[in-house]
Amino acid sequence: MGPAGSTVAEAGPRAALHPGGTGAPEQLRGEVHTIDSFSTGLPITLQVEVEQRRCPRQGQNAVVFALSPRPTADPVWTALRAVAGAAPCG
C-alpha cells in the first residue's frame, strides 16, 4: 500500500534514498516501491544500494545498483555487495 492507503499503481513508483555506507556522497541507500512486473504484478518494496564510481582512465563515471526485496542484513546482500564491488569501470 502506498500513501493514505493507495496502491503503488495509484501513487506511482517511488524511491526514498539517503546517504549510506561510509557516508561518502557517492553512496546512497534506501527503498524503491514499485510493482513486481516479473512475477506477481503486486506492489513490492526493494532495498537498494547505489554507488557512483569515478573511472579516470575512461574519463567516465559508473553507477552501480544492488536491489533485493530482502532486508539489507540478509545473507543475500553479502553476495550482492561482492558482485557490485567487482563491477569494472570499463
Confidence (pLDDT) at 47: 97
Q: What is the pTM of this model?
A: 0.75
Confidence (pLDDT) at 34: 94
Confidence (pLDDT) at 25: 60
Confidence (pLDDT) at 3: 46
- What string of H, E and C letters represents the secondary structure of the chain? CCHHHCCHHHHCCEEEEEECCCCCCCEEEEEEEEECCCCCCCEEEEEEEEEEEEECCCCEEEEEEEEECCCCCCCHHHHHHHHHHHCCCC
Asked if 43 and 33 count as a contact pair (C-beta separation under 8 A), the reply is yes
- Residue labelled with grid coordinates 503503488: 8
As averages over each run of 10 residues, the pLDDT of the chain (90 residues) reads 51 83 75 92 94 86 93 96 84
